[in-house]
Each structure stands twice: as structure tokens, then as C-alpha cells.
């Protein structure tokens, strides 16, 4: 489900695009069919997909314009921070470790 949401966020999947069948996902990822069906139902509940009997599951919604704008702004800010780290002599692994640490701290605070 997260992969589908990510593809919608990036514009890779657009409304009307058909998602792979549950069988295709199961064969490709070797996961339980019930997991795939539950994920598709969750996407439908969130208004991001619609199942059409006999045809498949299709992307229905998008993640709002506000979400896209927020992502664009965040990406620009992340780019600025990464460039500053690189200019300060940090390598890719240093930046990844710092980013992961900050991300974990911020989201840990959200869950408490």
C-alpha cells in the first residue's frame, strides 16, 4: 500500500491507471494474498483506488494539492540542507545517518 501511495505522490500513478492484480502482486512479491487484498481495500477506503468487478482495481484519487505543495517545499529545504552538509565535508553516509536520526526523533515524538 505504501508503494502505491508513493507512486501516487510522485505522479507515477494517475487517476484511471490500473493497479496490478492481487495475483500479480503475490507472484512478484511472494506475500500472502490476504495482505494484498487488505491493502487494496484500505486504498479504496481512503478514496485512492476503486475496484471494478471483472476489470481490476484502478487509481481513483490523488493526494491533494496541499500535499504536493508541501512535498515540493520540503524537498527544496532538504536539498538545501544536504548541499550544506556536503559543503561542510559530510559524505553520503554521514548525511543518511543524520537524516535517519532526525527522522526517527521527529516521528518518535509524534507517536508519544
The pLDDT tens digits along the chain (112 residues) read: 788 888 887 778 889 999 999 999 999 999 999 999 999 999 999 888 999 999 999 998 776 555 667 777 888 999 999 999 999 999 999 999 999 999 999 988 766 5
Q: Give the C-alpha separation, 40 to 51, whole Å.
A: 8
- Same domain for 80 and 102? yes
- Same domain for 71 and 51? no
**Among 43, 59, 75, residue at a domain's last position:** 59
Q: Give the C-alpha separation, 50 to 59, whole Å.
A: 6
Domains in the chain, number = 2
Cell of 84: 550544506
- Same domain for 13 and 54? yes
What is the model's pLDDT at position 103?
92
- Same domain for 6 and 55? yes
- Same domain for 48 and 24? yes
- Same domain for 53 and 92? no
What is the model's pLDDT at position 110?
64
What is the model's pLDDT at position 67?
65
What is the model's pLDDT at position 66?
56
- Which domain range does residue 10 map to? 2-59
What's the distance, Cα to Cα, between the start and end of the chain in Å? 25
What is the model's pLDDT at position 20?
94
Which phi and psi angles does 52 have, rounded to 5°? Answer: -120, 110
- Same domain for 48 and 77? no
Q: Give the C-alpha separation, 18 to 74, whole Å.
A: 29
Amino acid at each position: 500500500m505504501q508503494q502505491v501511495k508513493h507512486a501516487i505522490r510522485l505522479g507515477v500513478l494517475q487517476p484511471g491507471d490500473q493497479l496490478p492484480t492481487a495475483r500479480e502482486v503475490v507472484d512478484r512479491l511472494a506475500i500472502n494474498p490476504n495482505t494484498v487484498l487488505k491493502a487494496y481495500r484500505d486504498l479504496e477506503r481512503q478514496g485512492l483506488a476503486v475496484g471494478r468487478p471483472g476489470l481490476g482495481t484502478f487509481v481513483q484519487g490523488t493526494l491533494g494539492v496541499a500535499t504536493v505543495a508541501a512535498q515540493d517545499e520540503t524537498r527544496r529545504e532538504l536539498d538545501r540542507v544536504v548541499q550544506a552538509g556536503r559543503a561542510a565535508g559530510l559524505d553520503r553516509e554521514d548525511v543518511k545517518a543524520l537524516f535517519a536520526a532526525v527522522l526517527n526523533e521527529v516521528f518518535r515524538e509524534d507517536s508519544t
